[in-house]
Structure 1
């Protein structure tokens, strides 16, 4: 299943959601122009490298923000931006532009710290908007628990669209990441070498912080229609 759009109307134009999508695309287009050592240097500068953050937090803390705008490939970028496009607009509508930006970046930074905590001595760069978007999903699921999302469904050779509860899509995302996250802890405990892969604990942390920070910033303000 691939989400297309949700059915909740908004009262404001989600400028910051559009802007964040645009910035992610522009940064990735710059990434694809880099090769070899230049790309590695770019990631070392702007991605979050846990070992570097551990040894020099004062000099590396900005990577908690910059790493949110980097992606490891076209599918990584597209899937993240689709989820941001579908679910971000309603959260921006409820929080307002500035609070939404603060919410988004804070969820992303805290999510990155969750992944850092799991592997403080890793030299593998951590990057992507997934943690921040997981925060958006956490806020969405508590604010719109009964919302439905128009979804593209692949049934063998046939493709159709169906309306699926947003809670199912988001729930599957979190369950998959929770299972994978626990498995990654077991793997790390049994191995003496570093392992890379998806930052599952950033996703889980972002989701939890989204649930916590959303209401604090006015997700349930009383002037809803």
Structure 2
């Protein structure tokens, strides 16, 4: 399924400013990821792993329950405030297709939510 639009009327002059801002923030953060890792499609190098371990939500760090199961990735240090990664991880994307798909759905459906609930 690839949505290309919706047919929900909005008040005259309505501009989904918050939706546009969220899309811009996501794209800027993705470009930062690309700059840090040197990768555009494949985030499997060491710099990418460090970026995602520091800013992505690692369940063991958030809950404080690091298990003894060997996952192939060593978590040496959890972030100072692991709960913050619950927010920062929502802006991280694992590749261009991941970003593109999420931003497409946000662009199409975000304005409906913004019109319904406001710009809180």
Shorter-normalised TM range: 0.7 to 0.9
Deviation at 1:2, TM superposition (A): 1.1
Which has a greater percent of strand? 1
TM-score (norm 1): 0.41
Matches within 5 A, 1:205-216: none
Tell me the equivalent position of 2:90: 68
Query: Secondary structure of the equivalent of 2:9?
Result: coil
Deviation at 1:64, TM superposition (A): 0.9
* Structure 1: gaps of 5 or more residues: 99-225
Structure 1 stretches of 4+ moved >4 Å? none
Which has a greater percent of helix? 1
Q: Distance in 2 between matches of 1:91 and 1:59?
A: 30
Deviation at 1:76, TM superposition (A): 0.7
Tell me the equivalent position of 1:30: 32
Matches within 5 A, 1:111-122: none
Tell me the equivalent position of 1:10: 10
Deviation at 1:93, TM superposition (A): 0.5
CA RMSD of aligned residues (A): 1.6
Q: Distance in 2 between matches of 1:10 and 1:81?
A: 20
Q: Distance in 2 between matches of 1:45 and 1:92?
A: 31
Query: Secondary structure of the equivalent of 2:3?
Result: strand
**2:98 paired with 1:79:** no
Tell me the equivalent position of 1:129: none
Tell me the equivalent position of 1:97: 119
Q: Distance in 1 between matches of 2:110 and 2:50?
A: 31
Tell me the equivalent position of 2:59: 50
Q: Distance in 2 between matches of 1:70 and 1:62?
A: 13
Once the two structures are superposed, what CA deviation does each residue of 1:188-216 show, in whole Å capped at 9, x if it has no partner?
A: xxxxxxxxxxxxxxxxxxxxxxxxxxxxx
Deviation at 1:34, TM superposition (A): 2.6
Q: How many residues align?
A: 97
Deviation at 1:45, TM superposition (A): 1.4
Which 10-residue stretch deviates more, 61-70 or 31-40?
31-40
Q: Distance in 1 between matches of 2:110 and 2:27?
A: 16
